Amino acid sequence: MTADDETTSRRLDGNAAAGPLRDLFTVDLAAATVVCAGCARTAALATYTAYADAPALVLRCPDCSGVVLRFSSADGTVRLDLTGTRLLVARPPDGQVPGSRT
Ligand SMILES: [Zn+2]
């Protein structure tokens, strides 16, 4: 088995990240739009590649392989690194955006 085969066998889709992130966000992020900082790929979080067995949950861009998100929880804290995400756009299910003026 090559290193590429091993990496490929570990891949999940971005839905694997939505469950753990639910603890941090009150909206379902599977449908949130993520813009990759590396290549500007713009797509739903669920379409990115998740590695859930790393020390942190890691989401990579399927186009440029850049890390768009790292998430971990330990010792009563959660850590979210969005360095590789240019923009994340989520829509609350009830359409009520906190802080919006109607
Ligand atoms: Zn990318």
Domain coordinates in residue numbering, the chain: 3-89
How far is ligand 1, taken at its centre, from the CA of residue 70, in Å?
A: 15
Residue 79 Cα to ligand 1 midpoint, Å, equals 22
Q: What are the phi and psi torsion angles at 95 (to 5°)?
A: 80, 0
The predicted structure's pLDDT at residue 66: 97
Q: What is the pLDDT of residues 47-97, one digit of tens each?
A: 999 998 878 999 999 999 999 999 998 888 889 999 999 999 988 777 665
Percent of the chain scoring above 90 in pLDDT: 44
Whether the pTM exceeds 0.85: the reply is no
Q: 75 alpha carbon to ligand 1 midpoint, in Å?
A: 31
CA of 76 to the centre of ligand 1 (A): 31
Look up residue 75 and give its two tokens: 């010792």
SS3 97: coil
Cα–ligand 1 centroid distance for 1 (angstroms) = 26
